[in-house]
Chain A
Amino acid sequence: AQKITQTQPGMFVQEKEAVTLDCTYDTSDQSYGLFWYKQPSSGEMIFLIYQGSYDEQNATEGRYSLNFQKARKSANLVISASQLGDSAMYFCAMNSDYKLSFGAGTTVTVRA
């Protein structure tokens, strides 16, 4: 069975600073994908970044980077230079065997 754990229910970050959101996962599959989604207060789910289990380099997408440590089964999201618009809920997800499982989410609040 797959399991995604996000241990931080909520976080505050100062504008322009970086923030790291933790995510650990558990799977016995060799092939899997790790994703992060953003859910603003308006409710839609926005895809941010992807990391494949066979990728050796950490994924980056603009201000988002994924710190992938395969041996530790962790896939932390780093948001650099936080902006007020980054305030949202963030979900870590894993796709394995065509099943996408989500963590409980972390609420990020960016302070001016």
Chain B
Amino acid sequence: EAQVTQNPRYLITVTGKKLTVTCSQNMNHEYMSWYRQDPGLGLRQIYYSMNVEVTDKGDVPEGYKVSRKEKRNFPLILESPSPNQTSLYFCASGASSYNSPLHFGNGTRLTVT
């Protein structure tokens, strides 16, 4: 089954404790991206990747890191989480074309206390 898999689904952590949210896709997509969703703001792009070893900042990259060492994986790293990073996070993947829809993971709800 074609899918984007994010883990974990829920995560509660404390300020400053490094964490990684994993994302994996099995559709051989070149394009992958991370979004955060906050009430009233829709989804905002954090980082995206056009291919292996190619990453770029989205609209809200501060406080986040990503890597793309393999085509299928695109982890999101929070080196020192803060409460303002409490949010719902989505990983997505798609073909590298403006007319291709993105396939989303089920989301990770992160709470930083």
Name A's B-contacting residues (CB within 8 A): 4, 6, 9, 31-33, 35, 37, 43-45, 47, 50, 52, 91, 93, 95-105
How far, in whole Å, are A32 and B100 apart by their CA atoms in the complex? 10
**B residues near A9, Cβ cutoff 8 Å:** 40
Interface of A is mostly: strand
Name B's A-contacting residues (CB within 8 A): 31, 33, 35, 40-45, 48, 50, 58-59, 88, 90, 92, 96, 98-104, 106-107, 109
Q: Can you report 19 A-B residue pairs in the complex whose CB atoms are below 8 A from each other?
A: A4-B42, A6-B42, A43-B88, A44-B106, A45-B104, A47-B103, A52-B98, A52-B99, A91-B42, A98-B48, A98-B50, A99-B48, A100-B33, A100-B92, A101-B45, A101-B59, A102-B44, A104-B40, A104-B41
Q: A105–B42 contact, CB under 8 A?
A: yes
Instruction: From the candidates B42, B58, B98, name the one contacting A95 in the complex (CB within 8 A).
Output: B98
Q: B103–A33 contact, CB under 8 A?
A: no
**A residues near B35, Cβ cutoff 8 Å:** 102
Closest to A97 in B: B98
**A residues near B31, Cβ cutoff 8 Å:** 98
